[in-house]
Structure 1
Amino acid sequence: MTRESYKTLAEKAAGQVMELMPWDLEAAMRENAGLLVLDVRERSEFEAFHIKGSMNVPRGILEAACEWDYAETEPELVQARQRPVVVVCRSGNRSALAAMVMGIIGYENVASLKLGIKGWNDSDMPLVDCRGVGVDADDAAHLIEPKLAREQIDPVRRK
């Protein structure tokens, strides 16, 4: 088996799924009350800020959440196979992979938010916290782009 990087996997997935720009998602949310916005970031990321009305299912439990008979089962998500679903993450990588997998397991109308919540925030679209309170775009920007620790950086590129 050939080794592929996370970046390469995400790029390949993005090439296989429909991607929406932030302003396209905003329009789709206005025009389609049945649209499900699925945020696959970790719970702590989601609680800090998210798109109002979105559902949080972390990427690590997505497949089980999409099926009946698992502790992670999310009934609304299981029943959304014919609904339009837009998957969201921080940058568009996890969401592209998630959208691809969802297509494989039977979701008929699934897309990924290109540029992720970062692109949404950069486009000045509204975000709320876990209490439903609006989050300032500048405050969100600092959390969206966490600083990497030295040991997280590829040794070849460390300065």
Structure 2
Amino acid sequence: MNKSILTLIAAAALTTSAFAYDTAKAAEFNGFFSHMTQKACAESTLFVKADDVMKMLREAKPMLLLDIRTDGEASVVGLGGAGSRHVPVEHLFEKPNLDALPTDRPIVIVCYSGSRATMAAMGLKMIGIKNVQVLKGGIVALAASDTTKNAPLKDEK
């Protein structure tokens, strides 16, 4: 009998914890994701194409290219120039890095393929940073778009 009672208590405890979740966090996510209807997703400006970023660079449009790849990735192929900044995603949400993000120009987040950048952009939007876009296809797409036709012009000396 004691074994039966212990088994029932253990089963009830395991079942309860298996279905438990953070209701406050779920409500926060619901508030964020409930606006993502099919129409809103179709009209989203979250993603920006590599050719458009190259055009912005060529025309010296104000923006921040925010490279969130790892230090190792950025050491092989990095983004340079005054309009870029490297902050690995694991440090992006630290106060000094958040405080350094511009509010007066677009922030284009770059990772390898766009997956980490999408998650980072959603996180930034959830905390109230609205001027965020994701480079669709990541640095791979940017490299493919980097041609003599698209590349930013530099003064030849």
TM-score in same-fold range (> 0.5): yes
State the 4+ residue runs in structure 1 displaced beyond 6 angstroms: none
1:42 to 48, 56, 70: 70
| Rg larger in structure | 2
**What is the alpha-carbon distance in structure 2 between the residues aligned to residue 29 and residue 120 of structure 1?**
11
RMSD: 2.6
Match of 1:6 in 2: none
1:117 pairs with 2:139: yes
Give unpaired runs (5+ residues) of structure 1: 2-11, 127-159
Distance of aligned partners of 1:63 and 1:42 in 2 relative to their CA distance in 1, 3 Å threshold: same
Normalising by structure 2, we get a TM-score of 0.58
**What is the alpha-carbon distance in structure 1 between the residues aligned to residue 132 and residue 145 of structure 2?**
22
Does the residue aligned with 1:100 lie in a helix, a strand or coil? helix
Q: How many pairs are equivalent?
A: 107
2:89 to 40, 56, 59: 59
1:120 shift after superposition: 1.2
Normalising by structure 1, we get a TM-score of 0.58
1:47 shift after superposition: 1.5
The answer as to whether partners of 1:17 and 1:96 remain within 8 angstroms in 2 is: no
Q: How does 1:104-143 map to 2 (within 5 A)?
A: 104-124=126-146
The answer as to whether partners of 1:39 and 1:55 remain within 8 angstroms in 2 is: yes
1:91 pairs with 2:91: no
Identity of aligned residues (%): 33
1:76 to 85, 95, 100: 100
